[in-house]
Amino acid sequence: MPKMKTHKGLKKRIRISARGKVKVKKPGSGHLMGGKSGNRCRRLRKLDILTGKIADRIKLACPEA
């Protein structure tokens, strides 16, 4: 059977940590930051860690990220 191809669009948006956690950028930090509080902007800078079924699906679609 052929191997599954990596989803290239997903590969550019996620990172998989050394322990296998899926890290993604939090939504809502692209623009219009003036209306958001400083605390909120600071929280949005950090990476989000995905868990559960969605993380398992992402690891299948993008094993080399």
- For the chain, what are the domain ranges? 8-61
Which distant-in-sequence residues (6+ apart) come within 8 Å of 41 by Cβ? 29, 33
Beta bridge partners of 20: none
Residue 23 has pLDDT above 90, yes or no: yes
What predicted TM-score, i.e. pTM, was given to this entire model?
0.81
8 membership: H or E segment, kind and range: helix 8-11
pLDDT above 70 coverage of the chain, percent = 100
What topology is assigned to 8-61 in CATH? Factor Xa Inhibitor (4.10.410)
pLDDT of residue 19: 93
* Cβ neighbours of 14 (radius 10 Å): 19
47 membership: H or E segment, kind and range: strand 47-50
Residue 1 has pLDDT above 90, yes or no: no
Region of 48 please: left (phi>0), alpha (psi -120 to 50) or beta: beta
Residue 57 has pLDDT above 90, yes or no: yes
